[in-house]
Structure 1
């Protein structure tokens, strides 16, 4: 029944509307007792049309500015609720994260808008808002796993929002949905992964992350398939990878896919955003150390450009945070430690860093995707000193560290079952130092350069819903240069090595929801040495009940590029690591064997995860371990083996999450040529405990507080009663048995506060405050000895300390 003429006749009013815009709808017939205002309110509530009084007699009908409320629940194909799914009204900031039951509700949604529902590892779904509104009750929405991924997300909120655990045991960081962690004000990639059991930094530096007792150079860092040789700003205290276009970070401690090589300890695979959006978006922000910005610019439906950039302002403004970081980074360098023999009038230093990334995305059609990208990372330190006897005599020194990478890929989907991807990259790492010394009028120039090019071709063939086969070929060429030039007296040393590697890999991956198996093998052929290394890989997970599972993982891996540590021939005392290549003589290719077995109990968002592991790495050298003892000038090849247990207990809910992790491990060296041949590893941390609690105080206010305790790392003391020994005209520290002492236990408490607010309907903001070591506990993270310049018979103890009370604040805006 058409009630418009009836209302016009009964109440002597006129309606104005467009027949094209306003479609016929069914409504209840008029009731004799209803007034005009009651009828109009009922029509506004029960229809998708907006009835608006222009005057007492004229009423407009439109659907353009009508807003509605919608709700729904997000589920997987197996009817499991998806906690943490992103639900956003397209082209607005009106959105939320789905609850533990997968539920969501949005108000003030334009009637003609679309609602975008997405979750990492699942296909994005776009639904008309009106379809959600018209559904009786809240509509159930199923998200399907992406067709190319068998390895589904196992836990959607792992420790905090944005951290997820996959079926293969890897941990995924979704930076866009990142919640909050103690002490952090940004989703710093390499700081965040340290909340995982078995991952820590014994010297508080992300440039020195230790995964299950390994050294930092044993971690493979990939950024959009480009191998990176540098990971930190501030020489290790801040991640060098801007997280705001880095969409997904996957961390493997064991059971790695056969397509990955290198990294005998772990693999950190960083992926930037890879979808072409229909709308322009971006953001910017700043904290007490740096400012950054990022943009996503669609050029058309098939072409887009992404850019991010970050730069410190520490060379212009020195905040208290910067002062703490500067003192921590350079405490053991000539920048802060004035040598008693140097008679200088003044010293000054400026430090700055920046990084940038850019990506071009082109979709030829639905079947073919092309991507090109670039990343640049730079740290720069200028240091000057003037002579007290001649104020005009000023000498300047410089240290620059940078990593530049280019990459490109072509992904082709030839059918619903078969796809291929071809990719290539170029990575260049440089650290250069020029040291001009006033007291000796000597110039020292040092350089370490790594150039790597790589090519990979891989194919995926899905045999059925549960089984996928991966195969491929990879080629890499690595060249490394080390150079030192000294004046007064003149001296020069240059060494350059090149190594070519061919590899083929294949694996099968099966997942039926209860049983997950990934089994593969990789063959590596080193052309220079005519050497073939075969590496089997296995990853098994079996669900015994709905809440209890067992898991088994194992892998063989190799690594041809490692770092040596030279405390005498360092870069301004700040950077003492140099990349070198294996030569199969005094520097072998490192090879690792690792296995782990454990179980997992997960019910009602309560998780208990226990995993025992064993790892052995052969082919390490004295020079890449950084010994502060009698072995530091010797040449020897050895190994280390580490065995231990990791425990994680976690409980998550919609408003809070809390966890406790504990790692126990025993880590020993074995060098047959040394005496003693077996002794504790430099990073032999027997006990490590972390605990944290996150709480949503109110809707937009989040609090995170946590602590870390671990036993002190080993160090070597001088021999009591005979602390030094003389060889010719040189006096050395005479060390006792290696690593026979331990530093005091390390303990730190951190806290963060996060507040979200909207500046407008399309502009979101977030304010974060973080404090590292809010109890200002003094921790010694390294200890060594030098000959006392005032008494050559005694050794002088040097202790490096961790960060003290360090606050930081960040403000971010996104649109």
Structure 2
């Protein structure tokens, strides 16, 4: 009934196929308008937008990074979640700071009456949770998940990590020519920890404390020791570091109060920290003819640290029956650092910005003509300290019930984004990205305007809907190293480029909601184009552009068995490739390779398609034949990519003797998983 809004609960996710992990964000990717063809990101590409343009709120605080294990899984433990709402566009004035969409996650409060414990065990991770009530006023829930390096984890790690092989632990073995080889200990894992503590002070006041921590450590380092190396017989040692550590820590303290029968309010104090440390360096030490030890270090060091301190209050006043007035205020302090260095001495890029963002919003929700027409006008204003400017965002949404089953929906609005994840273009080995604060010099404040219209028909058994959207985006930023005009006197800060974008499309859904056999099919026809004058004065396909995407989901229940299947098809995403290579001899006699490139994103990857299957068998407590037996879990088997399709993630290119060698980096092939889920009640 709402414009561009989806809702989902963790219990429904158990039935969907995948890799055996109940994943809320992967589940949303099976819906229309949300891309499902990018296995390397559990972030949501909504209607031509990018994951950083999707505001993710967990009990009121912002989560800036939602990925585990190179993006194959999301960082949210379904055992700690109550429900999730996704606003795909045209969202209300109470949300801000993003251009595309909003994902609103509500944590589970815990069992109010009895102690409960449960968990999941799969070939990838262990997952445990506990719900502990204390008296009649206090509830709590804790959930912890950690991966372990089994066959499934290693298969994903080795497929997605290109730094080298997954070596053994401190193993010393003889190598060719009498050399000794030592492999450094490899430790790769992810974990997440969720908690929520709620205390009902009285009939009017409720206080809750939530926290979240999701962390990945990906280590592919190694060590080489070669005594008597070479003709001189001197010792040679080389340590290769390939360590990436990233994650998000967040917490919120929420006070909810019912001031009277018509006025409600929530005040939230929150903190969020995204961190990413990447060390891909090589340190060598050797002894020369004069018995002097020579140390050299080369490689890349990259650090990104974002801190967010926020305070916001939201109120709702029920003026009359069917009429509400909502208002609130907010303030956030940002502290963001990003450094990109080479050889531990040369800083390619060093950014550190701080800013305050403060503002307020008002909106109303009014029902007219016997609740057939609902109007939601609103406005949001923000003051950004770096620019000293005020940004105004008018919004409007409406739904009209043509009949009991047929609803017409529309919305429009303006949206600003002050914290941006900038894409760093890397032609030879795929793109990377990092978070920066808009500074109006290198990274402008970006904005978007949405126009959405749709029609939905819904009965007790069926749902048919169609929505069309158009988004015009201004001042998006990209960072590229392809335009190095001079080897000397060059400033890397000049490599920030700003442009604009357009996203348009139509999405259709047909769903059977009831019966043993149910599910849905969806189709999205979309286009996402960007224009950066440094590349072209014409629009070109954005990195996330997918023209056609079709999804079919089938669910079947038979006694204690749940069967499910999904099939996904998407046209290939665009990319930029080298078009030629050549070698230049420099004045000192050395040679250097150079390459030319095709037009920006003028080449496309092959089409993507995948078929997944899953079956769950419910476990019941109680004697056979009892009228009511309690479900206490399930045993599940899943098959990911059943027909072993080789879907291309991206391509890498190397230059050898003036020629370009192209390599496909593929996603996972056929991958099985087994899951055991148990709970006390």
In the alignment, the residues of structure 1 paired with residue 341 and residue 535 of structure 2 have an alpha-carbon distance, to the nearest angstrom, of: 32
| Residue number among 378, 381, 398 corresponding to 1:520 in the alignment | 378
Q: 1:399 to 1:608 in 2, by over 3 A?
A: same
How far did 1:168 drift? 4.0
Alignment-derived partner of residue 716 in structure 1: 576
Alignment-derived partner of residue 158 in structure 1: none
Q: 1:490 to 1:685 in 2, by over 3 A?
A: closer
In the alignment, the residues of structure 2 paired with residue 553 and residue 492 of structure 1 have an alpha-carbon distance, to the nearest angstrom, of: 44
Cα offsets for 1:673-730 (capped at 9, x unmatched): 433432121222111111121111x2220111120111111123433xx444759664
Secondary structure of the corresponding residue to residue 597 of structure 2: coil
How far did 1:634 drift? 4.4
TM-score (norm: length of structure 1): 0.73
> Are the counterparts in 2 of residues 569 and 576 from structure 1 also a CA contact under 8 Å?
no
The aligned runs of 1:788-799 (5 Å cut-off) are 788=655, 790-791=656-657, 793-799=658-664
Alignment-derived partner of residue 158 in structure 2: 327
Q: Structure 2: any 5+ residue segments left out of the alignment?
A: 168-178, 228-235, 285-295, 486-491, 623-628
Ranked by relative contact order (alpha carbons within 8 Å, sequence separation 6 or more), the top structure is 2
Secondary structure of the corresponding residue to residue 192 of structure 1: helix
How far did 1:178 drift? 3.9
1:746 lines up with 2:608 in the alignment: yes
> Are the counterparts in 2 of residues 521 and 537 from structure 1 also a CA contact under 8 Å?
yes
| Residue number among 320, 339, 359 corresponding to 1:483 in the alignment | 339
The aligned runs of 1:27-38 (5 Å cut-off) are none
The aligned runs of 1:99-248 (5 Å cut-off) are 154=1, 167-183=2-18, 185-248=20-83
How big is the alpha-carbon RMSD for the aligned residues of Structure 1 and Structure 2? Answer: 2.8
Cα offsets for 1:280-302 (capped at 9, x unmatched): 11211111111011111111111
| Residue number among 249, 262, 266 corresponding to 1:417 in the alignment | 262
> Are the counterparts in 2 of residues 641 and 667 from structure 1 also a CA contact under 8 Å?
yes
In the alignment, the residues of structure 2 paired with residue 260 and residue 367 of structure 1 have an alpha-carbon distance, to the nearest angstrom, of: 25
Alignment-derived partner of residue 673 in structure 2: 808
1:365 lines up with 2:202 in the alignment: yes
Q: 1:545 to 1:585 in 2, by over 3 A?
A: same
**Which has more strand, going by share of residues?**
2
Cα offsets for 1:602-657 (capped at 9, x unmatched): 2342222111110111111222xx89999999432101101111011111222121
Alignment-derived partner of residue 211 in structure 2: 374
> Are the counterparts in 2 of residues 252 and 266 from structure 1 also a CA contact under 8 Å?
yes
How far did 1:377 drift? 1.0
Alignment-derived partner of residue 383 in structure 1: 220
In the alignment, the residues of structure 1 paired with residue 304 and residue 154 of structure 2 have an alpha-carbon distance, to the nearest angstrom, of: 28
In the alignment, the residues of structure 2 paired with residue 493 and residue 709 of structure 1 have an alpha-carbon distance, to the nearest angstrom, of: 39
> Are the counterparts in 1 of residues 3 and 410 from structure 2 also a CA contact under 8 Å?
no
Cα offsets for 1:268-324 (capped at 9, x unmatched): 11001236611111211111111011111111111122111111112xxx22x2233
Q: 1:489 to 1:580 in 2, by over 3 A?
A: closer
Secondary structure of the corresponding residue to residue 298 of structure 1: coil
Cα offsets for 1:137-159 (capped at 9, x unmatched): xxxxxxxxxxxxxxxxx5xxxxx
How far did 1:179 drift? 4.8
Q: 1:476 to 1:237 in 2, by over 3 A?
A: same
How far did 1:393 drift? 5.0
In the alignment, the residues of structure 1 paired with residue 544 and residue 631 of structure 2 have an alpha-carbon distance, to the nearest angstrom, of: 46
Secondary structure of the corresponding residue to residue 327 of structure 1: helix
In the alignment, the residues of structure 2 paired with residue 667 and residue 182 of structure 1 have an alpha-carbon distance, to the nearest angstrom, of: 29
- Greater CA radius of gyration, 1 or 2? 1
How far did 1:763 drift? 6.7
| Residue number among 78, 93, 102 corresponding to 1:267 in the alignment | 102
How far did 1:463 drift? 1.1
Alignment-derived partner of residue 614 in structure 1: 470
> Are the counterparts in 2 of residues 345 and 388 from structure 1 also a CA contact under 8 Å?
yes
| Residue number among 540, 545, 552 corresponding to 2:403 in the alignment | 545
> Are the counterparts in 2 of residues 704 and 753 from structure 1 also a CA contact under 8 Å?
yes
Q: Structure 1: any 5+ residue segments left out of the alignment?
A: 1-153, 155-166, 338-342
> Are the counterparts in 2 of residues 403 and 427 from structure 1 also a CA contact under 8 Å?
yes
In the alignment, the residues of structure 2 paired with residue 326 and residue 708 of structure 1 have an alpha-carbon distance, to the nearest angstrom, of: 23
Cα offsets for 1:427-485 (capped at 9, x unmatched): 11111133341455447543211010000012110012211111010101111011345
In the alignment, the residues of structure 1 paired with residue 325 and residue 44 of structure 2 have an alpha-carbon distance, to the nearest angstrom, of: 33
The aligned runs of 1:405-444 (5 Å cut-off) are 405-438=250-283, 440-442=296-298, 444=300
1:561 lines up with 2:419 in the alignment: yes
| Residue number among 553, 560, 571 corresponding to 1:700 in the alignment | 560
1:785 lines up with 2:653 in the alignment: yes
Cα offsets for 1:328-380 (capped at 9, x unmatched): 3214x45679xxxxx99565633101110111111111110001111111111
Alignment-derived partner of residue 7 in structure 1: none
In the alignment, the residues of structure 2 paired with residue 427 and residue 329 of structure 1 have an alpha-carbon distance, to the nearest angstrom, of: 28
Count of residue pairs the alignment pairs up: 630
1:603 lines up with 2:459 in the alignment: yes
Alignment-derived partner of residue 440 in structure 2: 584
1:593 lines up with 2:449 in the alignment: yes
Secondary structure of the corresponding residue to residue 600 of structure 2: coil
> Are the counterparts in 1 of residues 423 and 477 from structure 2 also a CA contact under 8 Å?
no
Alignment-derived partner of residue 551 in structure 2: 690
In the alignment, the residues of structure 2 paired with residue 547 and residue 630 of structure 1 have an alpha-carbon distance, to the nearest angstrom, of: 60
How far did 1:582 drift? 0.6
> Are the counterparts in 2 of residues 612 and 646 from structure 1 also a CA contact under 8 Å?
yes
Secondary structure of the corresponding residue to residue 642 of structure 2: coil
TM-score (norm: length of structure 2): 0.87
> Are the counterparts in 2 of residues 222 and 270 from structure 1 also a CA contact under 8 Å?
yes
> Are the counterparts in 1 of residues 90 and 411 from structure 2 also a CA contact under 8 Å?
yes
> Are the counterparts in 1 of residues 527 and 546 from structure 2 also a CA contact under 8 Å?
yes
1:652 lines up with 2:483 in the alignment: no
Cα offsets for 1:67-109 (capped at 9, x unmatched): xxxxxxxxxxxxxxxxxxxxxxxxxxxxxxxxxxxxxxxxxxx
In the alignment, the residues of structure 1 paired with residue 99 and residue 585 of structure 2 have an alpha-carbon distance, to the nearest angstrom, of: 38
> Are the counterparts in 2 of residues 202 and 683 from structure 1 also a CA contact under 8 Å?
no
